[in-house]
Structure 1
Amino acid sequence: MRYFLKPVAVHIIGAVKPEAGITTDIGTMVVTLTWGQNPRDLDTHFKGPQFANSLTDRFHLYFGRPLVTIENVTMYLDVDDTTSFGPEILTVPRFPVAGRYIYSVHHYAGSGTIFQSPARVEVLINGMSYVFSPSTDEDTNGNINTWQVFEIEVSDSGAARLIPLNRYSTLSSNDVSGVSSMATSSAAESRIKKINSQSSQ
């Protein structure tokens, strides 16, 4: 099934200062991840507060938990593409609580790097589209295997501020600053679905 979006203004975002941000009203956010043949398996990861402004109770939406419901708002990932190209599409109908959210891309399997792929993330939010691509290369076959793409800060009034990050981290430490790795799912958890899938083949 193919969906067509109405034309929107597109802003290409590469090396942007982390403190820079784009403020928008509350509304739906759709994030589309695409990439090349290698690495063959890149994964969407989206984290945020389970309660308003929480840095200790955090949800983790990814292929092992593709649906998350907070305050009657269900956020979801459409598919886990393991054989190159994508797309993987994350839909957030609205931000359920105030706080800090983060979107990242994990290099799960395959040769090459996220930068070399090349990976592309398009964010459609309130009628505006922003396209992200990594501006530097990193050997994402090792521990530093996660590209942190952007953060969303949602105020108590519901205004959302999109903050480009464009940096790399380990999967286990992949969250907004100030969050303990114990607050979110670990790298081991992220492998459960695929290990089970492989063992059943």
Structure 2
Amino acid sequence: MNYKRYLYGGSLTVLLLLSSLTLAQTMISTVSFGEVNGRGGIFPDRPDILQINRVRVDTLIKPLFEAERTETVYYDLLFKACDFAGTVYLQPLLTAEEPACSSATMDFGGSFIPEFGAEFDKVRFDNIRVDTDYRSITFKFDAIMLRLVQILNPPQQVVISLNWGEHPRDLDAHLTGPEPGAMGTYFNEPDRFHLYFANRCVFVESACMASLEVNEFSDGKPETVRIFPPVGMVTLRPGNYRFTVHHFVGIGDIASSNAEVRVWVGNEPERLFTPIPGNWIDDHYALPPGLAGEGQGDVWKVFELVITDDGSVIILPTEHYDTGFTEPGRVGMI
């Protein structure tokens, strides 16, 4: 007697063929993706079709009157890359009739578990990475959601824009970040760069790794900072980056400047930062409002960027004021 079992993992379905079952034996199956490899380009006219090879199924068979044994079978399964409702996922092709992407089961539901039956003791999902020829997409298996999910490429650029209102006349964007081997000077800390109006490009092999876009007189708005992968790298340089706003000149203060800092990390949604309202620092009021030059030289520490070794970007809001005059060359230092 032959049984067909379907292991539903969202858009991932593994076909298990368990043969020669009888009611007088117990079977425990473990499904492992630890040895799989993916291959696209199987059909030249169908770049959306790929194959996942070597899905391993170990079945421990415990006959009633015989010694237990383990049978290992490897399966090669075809999948179709689908775009549906803004999500890219894999749809298994298990029948002659190709299913429509819109009818695919995209989320794992606990209702499927009873179908496994008592012979399933556990299902182990090891790391799986499948590279496809379909738009150069890479999938990984999410053991929590129990489905294959797209691995998004690390962001190739971070863009930071600073804009403000009528007063103060001039706010300046400052970015400090990792620059291994850089000597410490009055304008930068050791092993770190300082990007601002007096240093608008951080060079790596004659190309900007970070740049500042301002007008000729550096008092225009908005000011735009861009961070790129260094020459020879495919991801942004790992390390801690610090973005700071400096009140360079003009009446008023940062808190009442209507300043806006907008951040774009790759294709992720925009992040917006605005100054904490009120003319205060660390719960203590600063100079009374309305004084000429009041707030000049103050610093607004907006956020830090943490770029990991794999190029992922984490934004850590700081939202802190430093009052009192700070020289432009010293802004952003700890």
2:170 and 2:224 map into 1 onto residues whose CA distance is: 14
Residues 103 and 61 (structure 1), Cα distance of their counterparts in 2 relative to 1, 3 Å cut: same
- SS across alignment from 1:115: helix
1:174 and 2:332 are equivalent in the alignment: yes
- 1:33 touches 1:87 (CA, 8 Å); kept in 2? yes
Residues 173 and 91 (structure 1), Cα distance of their counterparts in 2 relative to 1, 3 Å cut: closer
Higher strand share: 2
For 1:61, the equivalent position in structure 2 comes to 195
Gapped regions of structure 1 (runs ≥ 5): 1-23, 180-201
- 1:32-181 matched pairs, under 5 angstroms: 32-51=161-180, 56-70=190-204, 73-80=208-215, 81-82=218-219, 86-94=221-229, 96-127=236-267, 128-138=269-279, 139=286, 141-142=294-295, 145-169=298-322, 171=326, 172=330, 174-175=332-333, 179=334
**Letter of the structure 2 residue corresponding to residue 64 of structure 1:** A
Sequence identity percentage: 33
What is the TM-score of this pair, normalised by structure 1?
0.65
For 1:196, the equivalent position in structure 2 comes to none
1:70 and 1:48 map into 2 onto residues whose CA distance is: 13
- 1:51 touches 1:97 (CA, 8 Å); kept in 2? no
Larger radius of gyration: 2
Q: Deviations over 1:119-172 (max 9, x none)?
A: 101111122200100123345945861101110011122211111111113643
1:173 and 1:38 map into 2 onto residues whose CA distance is: 20
Residues 143 and 39 (structure 1), Cα distance of their counterparts in 2 relative to 1, 3 Å cut: closer
For 1:18, the equivalent position in structure 2 comes to none
- SS across alignment from 1:131: strand
**Letter of the structure 2 residue corresponding to residue 37 of structure 1:** E
Gapped regions of structure 2 (runs ≥ 5): 1-152, 182-188, 230-234, 280-285, 288-293
CA RMSD of aligned residues (A): 2.7
